[in-house]
Structure 1
Amino acid sequence: MNSKMVANKVVVVTGAGGGIGREIALAMARSGARVVVNDIGASLVGDALAVNPGQQVVDEIRAFGGEAISNSDSVSDASGATRIVEAAVDQFGRIDCIVNNAGILRDRIFHKLSVEDWDAVLKVHLYGAFYTSKAAALHFKEQGSGSLIHMTSASGLVGNLGQANYSAAKLGITALSKSIALDMERFNVRSNCICPFAWSRMTSSIPTDTPEEQARVDKLKQMTPDKIAPLAVYLASDAAAEVNAQIFAVRNNEILLMSQPRPIRSVHRSEGWTPESIAEHGIPALKASFFALDRSSDVFTWDPI
């Protein structure tokens, strides 16, 4: 991406020390943005790392002539999220886009899922997206522009085993994004979601206990994080001025527009319903349109393009 599609825009990318976040931060900088590289410097489960990878990404950006600063505040704390946004405003004078990418995993089968693991994942993903978006909202309103890009997941949009906390957070983010889009459209503020398929720290914990699971992981490894970055840069740019409240997925070289819940079938009974008539007529009439107990791998069955 050699064009300066986001020239002079100021972009915050959370969780940008590695994987998808790193590639988005690099792509934003190469496309002319001034970037705040946020990363708390933690492992996938939240343990501290010896060296903050966010500063390493900043060094990479500066090496090719880009502008960037690092920030190590946590999105899971409202005051931390405010400091992330203020770092952008203090250093670069404004804020134009936030990419809510930070995340952790605490995978557990549901009956073994602890309250602590539920809270930790919701705090980083859903609360984090809210906190950073809220911190930027007043700046966006005052300047009459802004773009929010949130990372959702097929685990939330479709479903997955052992990820009730992660799935709930990621599906919650799509509703949050839609609400922001509705509320902030009058101020020329956009909010969209990307469902990324890419091999990164966030997917490295996928089990490979069976040949089928190993085959799925082998396919995922073809989908490198850099494939996600072009869509993020586009959504941050003025070229995407008419794109709002959408959910996109990226699988290698494929971009998909994802559906959002809409009525698909109905039954009507003029005299109203009883539990018995629902059992005898209502549900049998609807059952042909029931959704199966799918996982994301059951829905996305074709090889990455």
Structure 2
Amino acid sequence: MTIRFDNRVAIVTGAGGGLGRAYALELAKRGAKVVVNDLGGARDGSGSSIGAAQLVVDEIIAAGGEAIANGASVTDAAAVDKMVGFVKERWGRIDILINNAGILRDRTFVKMSLDDFRQVIDVHLMGSVVCTKAVWETMREQTFGRILMTTSSTGLYGNFGQANYGAAKLALVGLMKTLSLEGAKYGIKVNTIAPVAATRMTEDLVPPELLAKMGPETVAPAALYLVSDDAPANAVINAGAGGFERAYVTLTRGIHVAPEDMTPETIAARFAEISDRIGEIVPDTGAAQGAMALGAV
């Protein structure tokens, strides 16, 4: 069955180039009306221009699709609310939000200023919160919504020199997990993608021979599935260069001890048992993990 987005309205942030552009073009190709949002700033978030977003819109229209450009910063709640209001007035609904906008300010933690840390958190995490909050009530009223967060291998597994980026990216997984629970009865499905792609964000981090295999088009199939009508919920998909994997936050079976053995020495002596991954599980909720611990005492 071909996945289509006819009569769906999608907002894609950071869509003036790279991954966002690939998502916007493919959504439009498959029938969606697309809002191409992009501040048009530099890689570190400085500056602004709607030119890049408009070029993507021009591509979509030239191919017979429908799209509009928007230059709101995802960190500006008033501007995002204005964008959402305009889209609802024009097209009547908002079905899909892809939170893709981001910046990089890479440095080792010892050299990183607090401003560099806050700015990255503000764009990646709070930008996604701002945009999601702006469309949430509309999606609840429609009893339909698809929201995609963007994490990364840095958030999931860590990378040298990216403490700010990693903190923001893993926070988005936590956001997804709670919103998946809160949105379920309203038909809102929230997922997360972890792209491995050749974009201006990664051009200095990956050798050219590998970049050639990592075009944004290699990530787009997973992103589109995760915002489709038949999408799962609460899924983290790693995608890029032809590889697609699912990432989980797992829990080992661990140990359970009597009150007299609840000591640091017990933890030290039995740390290998606590760490043993045989039989590990994936709790459905944080409450389920807590209940498991309480039930074992």
TM-score range, shorter chain: 0.7 to 0.9
Moved more, 74-83 or 93-102: 74-83
> Does 2:243 align with 1:254?
yes
Task: Answer yes or no: is the 8 Å Cα contact 1:198–1:221 preserved in 2.
Answer: no
Q: Which amino acid aligns with 1:7?
A: D
Q: Is the 8 A contact 1:38 1:84 kept in 2?
A: no
1:82-131 alpha-carbon deviations (Å, 9 max, x no partner): 22322321221110000000000000101111111011101110001111
* 3-state DSSP of counterpart to 1:112: coil
> Which of 258, 263, 273 does residue 262 from structure 2 map onto?
273
Distance 1:155 1:87 in 2: 35
Relative distance call for 1:144 and 1:49 in structure 2 (3 A) is: closer
The Cα of 1:252 is off from its aligned counterpart by 1.7
- Identify the range of structure 1 (23-32 vs 44-53) with the bigger mean alpha-carbon deviation: 44-53
Aligned residues: 276
Q: Deviations over 1:243-289 (max 9, x none)?
A: 00100011222221112x2222412332332233333x233544666
Deviation at 1:4, TM superposition (A): 6.5
Show the counterpart of 2:125: 126
Distance in 2 (alpha carbons) for counterparts of 1:176 and 1:246: 12
TM-score (norm 1): 0.85
Normalised by the length of structure 2, the TM-score is 0.88
What one-letter code is carried by the residue in structure 1 that aligns with 2:115?
Answer: E
Cα contact 1:81–1:135 (8 A) shared by 2: yes
- Of all paired residues, the percent bearing the same amino acid is 41
SS at match of 1:222: coil
Any stretches of 5+ residues in structure 1 without a counterpart? Answer: 207-212, 290-305
1:231 equivalenced with 2:222 (yes/no): yes
* Secondary structure class of the residue paired with 1:54: helix
Give 1:140 shift.
Answer: 0.5
Measured on the aligned residues, the alpha-carbon RMSD in Å equals 1.9
Aligned to 1:219: 210
1:79 corresponds to 2:70:
no
Cα distance, 1:228 vs structure 2: 1.6
Trace 1:92-111 onto structure 2 (pairs within 5 A): 92-111=91-110
- Is the CA contact (8 Å cut-off) linking 2:151 and 2:170 kept in structure 1? yes
SS in 1 for 2:141: helix
Question: For residue 302 of structure 1, what is the aligned residue in structure 2?
Answer: none
Query: Any idea what the Cα deviations from partners look like across 1:200-253, whole Å, max 9, x if unmatched?
Result: 0111231xxxxxx64xx532431100112222222222132xx00100011222
Partner of 1:67: 66
User: What corresponds to 1:209 in structure 2?
Assistant: none
Query: In structure 1, how many angstroms separate the alpha carbons of the residues matched to 2:223 and 2:266?
Result: 49
